[in-house]
Amino acid sequence: MNSFFKRRYIIQGIFIFVALVLLGRLYYIQVVDDRYKLSADNNVLRKLIIYPARGVILDRHGKVLVQNEPVYDLMVIPGQVEEMDTLEFCNLIKISKQDFDKAFKKAKNYSPYKASIFQKQLSALTYAAFQEKLFEYHGFYVQNRSVRFYPDSTAAQFLGYIGEVNEKEIEKYDDFYGQGDYIGKTGIEKSYEDLLRGQRGVKNIMVDVHNREQGSFFEGKYDSTAVAGDNLISSLDKELQLFGESLMINKIGSVVAIEPSTGEILASISSPSYDPNMMVGRQRGNNYMKLLNNPFKPMFIRPIQAEYPPGSIFKVINALVAQELGIINPKTYFNCPGGYRYGRNGWMGCTHVHGTINLEQSIEESCNTYYGNTYNRMIDHTGLRPINAYTRWRNMVKKFGIGDVLDIDLPAERPGLIPTADYYTKRFRNDKWTSSYNMSLSIGQGELGITPLQMANVMAILANRGFYYKPHLIKAMGDKKIIKEEYTKKNDAGIQGKYFDAVIEGMSRVVNAPNGTAYNAKINDIEICGKTGTVQNPHGENHSVFVAFAPRINPKIAIAVVVENAGYGATWSAPIASLMIEKYLKDTISRPKYYTDRLLNANLLPGQKKLYFKPSNKKDSTAASEVKRVNAVPLIKPKIN
């Protein structure tokens, strides 16, 4: 009996102890710890994400290239939506009833109780009209955010665009982003996303049963502040960029201009281009598809993604490499009988008979024969097996930044192409091949592929007489104007400075001597050193190419211009480059109006009627078939009013 009562008291004691623990815990939850009050009040709280202002991008002179403007995302919690006048609602936010039904179904499928975006990016004007009646629509509220605005509609491919994150991007950034957030998709917006995006904040707002804001929750105790993204100072000169874009209207191609002393890119033009404001707003998706389906590929970033055989501009590299190898010197002469005979039956023609010429003259007059002889010596007459001599030659050419990415601060850069010795061994099915098997490389044709950025960088190497700084588009980051260390290091091209004299003299004659292939690009008070190229195109008309730097002493700009399907380098690319150089160095154009108008008004798009203007001097030659491949369209001289 006594044992029974003892057990009874023990059991009662246990129950009393558990009850006291539960009561104590309840007291702590309800009185002491306000976290649970916050959780309980969530049904009358609205958590607003405070999106930071994305960093502004400026040009090298502090002029705005891209900034922010306010928009408003309409959010919905489907479970809180009550009966309403749907048609009036649709009229207020300017959507159709079908769009309403589709958006509401999507939101409900996502979650009946969690907020999601119902309609993105209402304009300030639309929001102003809608705001007064917002309280009538239970379950709906507006969240502020900003979108990009491009005041001059320039540099679309360089700047890139932002778009809504996808699942892969959310996973990649460890859930930093959530559904409906925006992220840099291309261009600088993508490369510098970590700096531009800033840090989001949160604001807890109390709302009443009518969805009207009642003030901050707990006086902002649980709020966090948004931190704006860092501003970026780009290397672009906005005025030069805009001028170059106007010259490239109705043309397919690229212009890349670099400051040789820093590697800063002054202009990066990809044509055709598009208005970057098309990639902002509620029509972004429709605009994107239009651009994607455009046959001229305006979203293709030609300065870093298009790969062309360089043509005659490659002769300056072969001239430098051959000198470094001790194969030729400025006093080396070759006789040009109108072409170069190689192998058993090979013949690489020139535009005409040059006679006996030296290194400087070979650059000035763009002699194929000179470089056929030079390439033959570099590959077949060095004491090495041709396959090994070719590998040595290839490695030296690669030091000019060709055949590998230059690692510019843009995504999706292509490396170009210099075939390996193994490529030719497989192609010819043995390793006994000689220079006659790939003689076209001597004049920049054949399997070579070079991007316009790489072409401009080669000119920076010429301007610096043997080195370059890594080309880049952002010169300083944030309020402290931080410069990446990698952009301050010299990259050696492997050529001694003394070997540049003859080549640069020849390049000066290309533009400034009456016999030069680009004499029509001459500027009286600026000594331009350049090289024309007419690149064979197996898919259509030849590409017009011109590369240059200026002035000769203390160069300030290196430039490459490619105009696809346009014919001679001297006809189109050289004048465009000349005007760009003059604009940058003098901030004005001194040439007659018709000189500029011819370029501004020309339509060189495939399938369009073209006017071809015959240069008053000799053509640049790039291959044996050059003379036969000139345009069959009559050459028409412009009328000058």
pLDDT tens, position by position, 548-575:
999 999 999 999 999 999 988 899 999 9
Q: Number of C-alpha atoms within 13 angstroms, CB side, residue 485?
A: 0
461, 468 contact by CB (below 8 A): yes
Closest among 256, 308, 314 to 621, alpha carbons compared: 314
d(CA 523, CA 422): 46
Exposure class string for 384-410: b at 16+ Cβ within 10 A, else e = eebbebbebbbebbbbbbbbeebebbb
Exposure class string for 574-587: b at 16+ Cβ within 10 A, else e = bbbbbbbbbbbbee
Lowest mean pLDDT among 185-189, 303-307, 365-369, 628-632: 628-632
Across 287-292, average pLDDT: 93
490, 427 contact by CB (below 8 A): no
Closest among 446, 449, 451, 447 to 412, alpha carbons compared: 451
Give the pLDDT band of residue 146 (cuts 50, 70, 90): confident
Q: In this predicted structure, what is the pLDDT of residue 44? A: 66
Q: What is the pLDDT of residues 496-536, one digit of tens each?
A: 999 999 999 999 999 999 888 899 999 999 999 999 998 88
Q: In this predicted structure, what is the pLDDT of residue 641? A: 26
46, 208 contact by CB (below 8 A): no
3-state class (DSSP) for residue 212: coil
Q: What are phi and psi of 550, to 5 degrees?
A: -160, 155
- pLDDT over threshold 50, residue 612: no
d(CA 544, CA 577): 12
Give the pLDDT band of residue 48 (cuts 50, 70, 90): confident
- Give the 3-state secondary structure of 136-192: HCCCEEEEEEEEEECCCCCCHHHHCCEEECCHHHHHHCCCCCCCCCEEECCHHHHHC
Q: In this predicted structure, what is the pLDDT of residue 330? A: 96
Q: If you compute the radius of gyration of the chain from its CA atoms, what whole number of angstroms results?
A: 33
Q: Which CATH class is domain 45-234?
A: alpha beta
Q: Pick the more confident residue, 206 or 440.
A: 440
CATH topology of domain 238-271+301-629: Beta-lactamase (3.40.710)
- pLDDT over threshold 50, residue 224: yes
Lowest mean pLDDT among 235-239, 340-344, 549-553: 340-344
Give the pLDDT band of residue 175 (cuts 50, 70, 90): confident
Look up the pTM and report it: 0.84
One-letter identity of residue 112: P
Instruction: Respond yes or no on whether the N-terminal peptide bond of residue 112 is cis (omega within 30° of 0).
Output: no
- pLDDT over threshold 80, residue 368: yes
User: Does an H or E element contain 265, and which?
Assistant: strand 264-271
d(CA 517, CA 528): 13
Range with top average pLDDT, 202-211, 518-527, 613-622: 518-527
Give the pLDDT band of residue 609 (cuts 50, 70, 90): low
Q: Pick the more confident residue, 174 or 93.
A: 93
The token pair that represents 352 in the structure block: 């005409």
Closest among 120, 125, 127, 82 to 103, alpha carbons compared: 120
Q: What percent of the chain has pLDDT over 70?
A: 89
DSSP code, position 29: I
Domain ranges of the chain: 45-234, 238-271+301-629
